[in-house]
């Protein structure tokens, strides 16, 4: 199994040289630790010199497995589920920018928080209709560019729609695009799924999963809480999972500490 970790590049407040220097430093630090990729959580991919970033990745034998898009909602408040069609179009346009980046970086594009939250003027039914309509438009963009979108079930405390893996899979099947796949996050799985039946269920749908996020039930590095990562990851290895498992946590006490703790822990449970 290949491991990656999430990082930003501070592209809003950095020069091109600063962005490239930061990415080089990340690769230099992570590569000896057995990480094979860096998942980028970015706000404006068009501000990042993607060809140069890809060149740096290649020089270290690293990949950019996925692009996080959640900051589009958190910073701009653009979302797929908004009642305002102009807001929805702005969210779709932002996804287009990520797709353009991905055609060069060979990354998947995560659909998570960008689906938004409904307001008192909205309701779950309307929101879901808007999300599906927006997703269909994004899928057409992804199909035209041969880029994969990966949809993340997120717990009910952070988002109002598609909280469970089952609901998400049903939606993906409804849309029916080969460029829309499922991702699974251990933290959201812990909060939303039945603790007894989830293991057999994961085994039954593992081949449909295209990307993994790893975070303990503390929301910190794997091994700091009680989530059963050995059982979780063994299910995917047994099902010949070839994608990335990307560490997405609160980066405390530091990014470097989380990276080191994760690799040490994975070795301790015989995953690495």
Counted domains in the chain: 1
Short-list 104, 101, 76, 102, CA closest to 90: 76
Mean per-residue pLDDT of the chain? 97
Query: What Rg do the C-alpha atoms of the chain give, in angstroms?
Result: 18
pLDDT confidence of residue 82: 94
Convert the pLDDT of each residue in 92-118 to its tens digit: 999 999 999 999 999 999 999 999 988
pLDDT tens digits along 226-244: 999 999 999 999 999 999 9
- Is 269 a residue whose pLDDT tops 80? yes
Q: Please report the pLDDT score of residue 175 as a whole number.
A: 97
According to the model, what pLDDT value does residue 116 have?
A: 94
pLDDT > 90: percent of the chain: 96
Question: Mean pLDDT, to the nearest integer, of 74-100?
Answer: 97
- pLDDT tens-digit profile of 126-161? 999 999 999 999 999 999 999 999 999 999 999 999
Residue 119 has pLDDT above 80, yes or no: no
For range 83-94, the mean pLDDT: 97
Which of 39, 36, 11 has the alpha carbon at shortest distance from 112?
A: 39
CATH code at position 20:
3.20.20.150
At 3-30, the pLDDT tens digits run 999 999 999 999 999 999 999 999 999 9
| Residue 21 domain boundaries | 2-268
79 phi-psi bin (left φ>0, alpha ψ -120 to 50, beta other): beta
Specify the pLDDT at position 121: 77
User: Which tens digit of pLDDT belongs to each residue from 237-263?
Assistant: 999 999 999 999 999 999 999 999 999
- Written as one string, the DSSP assignment of the chain is -EEEEEE---TTS--HHHHHHHHHHHHHHHGGGT--EEEEE-S-GGGS-HHHHHHHHHHTT-B--EEE-THIIIII---TT-S-HHHHHHHHHHHHHHHHHHHHHT-EEEESGGG----TT--HHHHHHHHHHHHHHHHHHHHHHT--EEE----TTT-SS--SHHHHHHHHHHH--TTEEEEEEHHHHHHHS-TTTHHHHHHHHGGGEEEEEE--TTSSSTTSS---HHHHHHHHHHTT--SEEEE-S---S-HHHHHHHHHHHHHHTT--
pLDDT at 3: 98
pLDDT in the model for residue 118: 80
Tell if the pTM clears 0.85, that is, is over it. Answer: yes
Per-residue pLDDT tens digits for 176-225: 999 999 999 999 999 999 999 999 999 999 999 999 999 999 999 999 99
Q: pLDDT class for 2, splitting at 50, 70, 90?
A: very high
């Amino acid at each position: 199994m290949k491991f990656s970790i999430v990082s930003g590049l501070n592209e809003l407040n950095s020069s091109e040289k600063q962005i490239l220097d930061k990415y080089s430093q990340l690769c230099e630090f992570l590569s000896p630790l057995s990480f094979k990729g860096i998942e980028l959580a970015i706000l404006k991919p068009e501000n990042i010199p993607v060809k140069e970033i890809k060149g740096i990745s290649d020089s270290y034998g690293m990949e950019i497995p996925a692009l996080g898009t959640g900051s589009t909602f958190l910073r701009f408040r653009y979302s797929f589920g908004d009642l305002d069609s102009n807001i929805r179009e702005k969210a779709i346009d932002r996804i287009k920018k990520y797709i353009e980046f991905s055609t060069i970086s060979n990354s998947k594009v995560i659909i998570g928080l960008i689906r938004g939250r409904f307001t008192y003027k909205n309701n779950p039914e309307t929101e879901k209709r808007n999300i599906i309509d927006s997703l269909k438009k994004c899928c057409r963009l992804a199909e035209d560019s041969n880029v994969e979108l990966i949809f993340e079930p997120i717990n009910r405390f952070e988002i109002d729609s598609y909280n469970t893996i089952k609901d998400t899979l049903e939606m993906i099947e409804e849309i029916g695009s080969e460029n829309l796949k499922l991702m699974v996050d251990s933290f959201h799985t812990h909060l939303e799924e039945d603790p007894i039946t989830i293991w057999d269920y994961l085994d039954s749908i593992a081949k449909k999963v295209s990307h993994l996020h790893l975070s303990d039930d503390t929301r910190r590095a794997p091994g700091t809480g009680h989530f059963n990562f050995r059982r979780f990851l063994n299910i995917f290895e047994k099902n010949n999972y070839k994608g990335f498992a990307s560490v997405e946590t609160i980066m405390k006490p530091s990014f470097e500490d989380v990276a080191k703790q994760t690799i040490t822990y994975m070795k301790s449970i015989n995953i690495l």
